[in-house]
């Protein structure tokens, strides 16, 4: 994703790839692989080199994956 307007809520933090992989209990390389395969949402780029993911979107994606 490119830079987008989105609402930020402190209870729904923006996570780094490392934090996101820890949240999902997977390694960072597996996390990036799942993003590339569209199994996880694409990141929001705070700047050109700072990708971040919303915790709620990651959790929702995992729930969809589990249901399949």
Residue 6 falls inside a structural domain: no
Show pLDDT as tens, one digit a residue, over the chain (68 residues). 444 555 556 788 999 999 999 999 999 999 999 999 999 999 999 999 999 999 999 999 999 888 87
> Which structural domain, as residue segments, surrounds residue 37?
14-67
Residue 36 falls inside a structural domain: yes
Residue 3 falls inside a structural domain: no
Q: How far apart are the first and last CA of the chain?
A: 25
E-state strands within 1-68: 14-15, 44-45, 51-54
User: Is pTM, for the whole model, over 0.85?
Assistant: no
Residue 61 falls inside a structural domain: yes
Number of domains the chain is built from: 1
Residue 2 falls inside a structural domain: no
């Amino acid at each position: 994703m490119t830079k987008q307007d989105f609402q930020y809520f402190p209870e729904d933090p923006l996570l780094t790839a490392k934090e996101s992989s820890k949240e999902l209990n997977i390694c960072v390389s597996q996390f990036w692989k799942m993003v590339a395969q569209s199994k996880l949402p694409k990141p929001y780029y705070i700047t050109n080199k700072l990708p971040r993911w919303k915790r709620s979107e990651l959790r929702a994606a995992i729930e969809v994956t589990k249901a399949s």
